[in-house]
Amino acid sequence: MPCPSPIVAAAVGTPRVAEASALAGGGTLVVPKRKSAMATVAVARVAPRGRLSLIGLGPGARDLLVPRAAAELRRAGVVIGLDQYVDQIRDLLRPGTQILASGLGAEEERARVAVEQARRGHAVALVGSGDAGVYAMASPALELAGDDIDVVGVPGVTAALAAASLLGAPLGHDHVVLSLSDLHTPWDVIERRILAAADSDLVVAFYNPRSRTRDWQLRSAMDILARHRPAATPVGVVRAASRPRQRVTLTTLGEFRPGTADMVSVVIVGCSATRVVAGRMITPRGYRWLRT
Amino acid sequence: MPCPSPIVAAAVGTPRVAEASALAGGGTLVVPKRKSAMATVAVARVAPRGRLSLIGLGPGARDLLVPRAAAELRRAGVVIGLDQYVDQIRDLLRPGTQILASGLGAEEERARVAVEQARRGHAVALVGSGDAGVYAMASPALELAGDDIDVVGVPGVTAALAAASLLGAPLGHDHVVLSLSDLHTPWDVIERRILAAADSDLVVAFYNPRSRTRDWQLRSAMDILARHRPAATPVGVVRAASRPRQRVTLTTLGEFRPGTADMVSVVIVGCSATRVVAGRMITPRGYRWLRT
């Protein structure tokens, strides 16, 4: 029955059934509609539902990358990330995987491209170091993603956990994770959090402690903690944990020098329970254990 | 020259060279000393330096166990851990690996046995879930370990990171990790930390939120936060992340019911910047981004 047909329209509510049905799934017409006296045919290609994997590559060493991340990378048709991170896992990708790495300076831009590619039906892997959900790409990407794509978060070992494992067990009990970067957060918010940590005797792990342009924040943060904690409080600085130029420094709040830390360092400051045993920085699991 | 000899004693400071040398490395004599007119021979077996690996098995799924942990497990001669964790990785062990799992109720006891076995020269793997350094076995073991054994910490994906990846990206910015177990920490210390987090607008991840015997702490903690944050603040509860009986609940501070959480749950409470987009809980990376 030729379309548009008033009989068809009366029966199903629209005069154009074939084309409308083919396009209903959000696809695009592959060949123009063909019609005869008996039938009308329309062929559309429906885009597959896109998949966005948010993948943290861990602190750096290949043997600290979780197998689920490697599997998601093999599955990906498009990989997005900074050159240094893509280089780290290039050998895990299938031949033909599209890599959108360099030339994308800003995080917002990488997040936007990742979501856009997933919306087109691709399996997209958005990669970064550590865990994708901690000071990383998952937040900006998920702010843009709707429910029209599948999202898979693959958790990873953070820089703080890798640093802690090299120092001993400084994060053995309650702790706070703070970024000292005031590029996106006003310093007074950061300062209030350091004060709260100092006041409630929490172990603190500082991310982004110091860069060439941000050179006073770490000193200022340590000064706040030093007003609440003894000079002998253990402090650990781990640079580039699990990477080739890793450096582990164990010092105290009194002897700490900001120069030991840079942008790829994590600084961990102990609480009143933290101590050093045989060169290892340890925060016991509970306060009552300390008294026994 | 027979020992003891006054000539030997004058030259090297001790009359018994052979036996003393053999025992100097901390070994034990294998055969009694043999001597003739020309020479004295003593043979000792020196114990190898012990190795203690502190291994977090991740949240549960095998593909979230880092390869370094699997390698350390294959290397181990002795494995120590609760039955449920040892069962999880039994297939990764070499045949003949000694398993000291059941019958060791207390953590202190497992830590003590692990260090003792390492001191005897064994390669010991002390296993637990998540990361060994966060509310786990690394702290108690390292409090007992000296510098006479090698210690290797293998970082792992924590329950908080696994929970966050299922909820979206609630730990995208500064956050505090708190245990609500007052078995080892007095409640007033815990309460002070919750207040500090509430006051400084930190995202909070609660471990050990609730058990059969500890049934009021979670309600109390949420009440403190509710006095500082709007009722619409997003709250995520993840039970048994990445395990077969995983359950993910997204709610709000106003509608939260403690009954959704148990001992194997992590409860994550958002800060003022946390929001829900397309069913995913997100804490943006920086406060300034919120305003754009």
pLDDT digits (tens, 9 = 90+) for A211-257: 999 999 999 999 999 999 999 999 999 999 999 999 999 999 999 99
Distances (CA, A) of A134 to A178, B120, B165, B204: 11, 41, 10, 13
Question: Which of B165, B183, B282 is the closest to A154 by Cβ?
Answer: B165
- Asked if residue B266 lies in contact with residue A163, where contact means CB atoms within 8 angstroms, the answer is no
Question: Which of A65, A170, A197 is the closest to B196 by Cβ?
Answer: A197
Q: Which residue of A has its CA nearest to B159?
A: A155
B5's tokens? 């000899």
* Residue B24 clears pLDDT 80, i.e. is over it: no
First-last CA distance in chain A: 89
List CB contacts (< 8 A) between A164 and chain B.
131, 133-134, 153, 155
Closest C-alpha among B11, B289, B12 to residue B172: B289
- Asked if residue A197 lies in contact with residue A229, where contact means CB atoms within 8 angstroms, the answer is no
Mutation site for A-interface testing, chosen from B174, B178, B206, B292 by largest number of A Cβ within 10 Å: B174
Question: Which of B172, B184, B283 is the closest to A285 by Cβ?
Answer: B184
Q: Which residue of B has its CA nearest to A199?
A: B196
Question: Does A62 contact B67 at a Cβ distance shorter than 8 Å?
Answer: yes
Closest C-alpha among A157, A153, A156, A155 to residue A52: A153
pTM: 0.89
| Torsion angle, alpha carbons of B80, B54, B58, A155, to 10 | 180
B181: enclosing H helix or E strand: none
Residue A5 banded pLDDT, cuts 50, 70, 90:
low
B46's tokens? 């020196």
Please compute the mean of the pLDDT values over residues A106-122 and round it to a whole number: 93
Residue B184 banded pLDDT, cuts 50, 70, 90:
confident
Q: Which residue of A has its CA nearest to B149?
A: A278
- What is the distance of C-alpha B276 from the center of its chain? 32
- Asked if residue A222 lies in contact with residue A233, where contact means CB atoms within 8 angstroms, the answer is no
What SS3 class is residue B9?
A: helix
Q: Give the pLDDT confidence score for residue A136 in this predicted structure.
A: 94
* Residue B292 clears pLDDT 60, i.e. is over it: no
- The letter for the amino acid at A106 is A
| Residues A169-208 pLDDT 10s | 999 999 999 999 998 899 999 999 999 999 999 999 999 9
Q: Give the pLDDT confidence score for residue A234 in this predicted structure.
A: 98
- Asked if residue A271 lies in contact with residue A202, where contact means CB atoms within 8 angstroms, the answer is yes
What SS3 class is residue A257?
A: coil
User: Which tops the pLDDT comparison, B165 or B11?
Assistant: B165
Residue A266 banded pLDDT, cuts 50, 70, 90:
very high
Question: Does B174 contact A179 at a Cβ distance shorter than 8 Å?
Answer: yes
Closest C-alpha among B73, B43, B47 to residue B58: B73
| Residues B201-248 pLDDT 10s | 999 999 999 999 999 999 999 999 999 999 999 999 999 999 999 999
List CB contacts (< 8 A) between A282 and chain B.
138-139, 142-143
Count of CB atoms within 10 A of residue A179's CB? 22
| Mean per-residue pLDDT of chain A | 91
Question: Which of A133, A143, A280 is the closest to B161 by Cβ?
Answer: A133
> Rounded CA gap, A216 and A43, in Å?
64
List CB contacts (< 8 A) between A209 and chain B.
none
- For residue A213, the distance in angstroms to the closest alpha carbon of chain B comes to 18
Question: Does B174 contact A171 at a Cβ distance shorter than 8 Å?
Answer: no
Hey, which residues does B276 pair with through a beta bridge? B281
List CB contacts (< 8 A) between A234 and chain B.
none
Residue reference for tokens 């829900």? B276
Please compute the mean of the pLDDT values over residues B38-43 and round it to a whole number: 84
- Asked if residue A167 lies in contact with residue A269, where contact means CB atoms within 8 angstroms, the answer is no
What SS3 class is residue A253?
A: coil
Q: Give the pLDDT confidence score for residue B250 in this predicted structure.
A: 98
Strands A98-100 and A280-282, sheet pairing: unpaired
| Residues A66-75 pLDDT 10s | 999 999 999 9
* Residue A288 clears pLDDT 90, i.e. is over it: no
| Torsion angle, alpha carbons of B33, B34, B36, B41, to 10 | -70
Mutation site for B-interface testing, chosen from A92, A143, A283 by largest number of B Cβ within 10 Å: A143
Question: Does A169 contact B133 at a Cβ distance shorter than 8 Å?
Answer: yes
Residue B291 banded pLDDT, cuts 50, 70, 90:
very low
Q: Give the pLDDT confidence score for residue B97 in this predicted structure.
A: 97
List CB contacts (< 8 A) between B66 and chain A.
58, 63-66, 157
- Asked if residue A262 lies in contact with residue A286, where contact means CB atoms within 8 angstroms, the answer is no
Residue A40 banded pLDDT, cuts 50, 70, 90:
confident
A59's tokens? 């602190």
Least confident of A63-77, A163-177, A273-287: A273-287
> Rounded CA gap, B56 and B133, in Å?
8
Please compute the mean of the pLDDT values over residues A116-131 and round it to a whole number: 97
List CB contacts (< 8 A) between A58 and chain B.
66
List CB contacts (< 8 A) between B154 and chain A.
165
B240's tokens? 């048994």
List CB contacts (< 8 A) between A285 and chain B.
107, 135-136, 139-140, 184
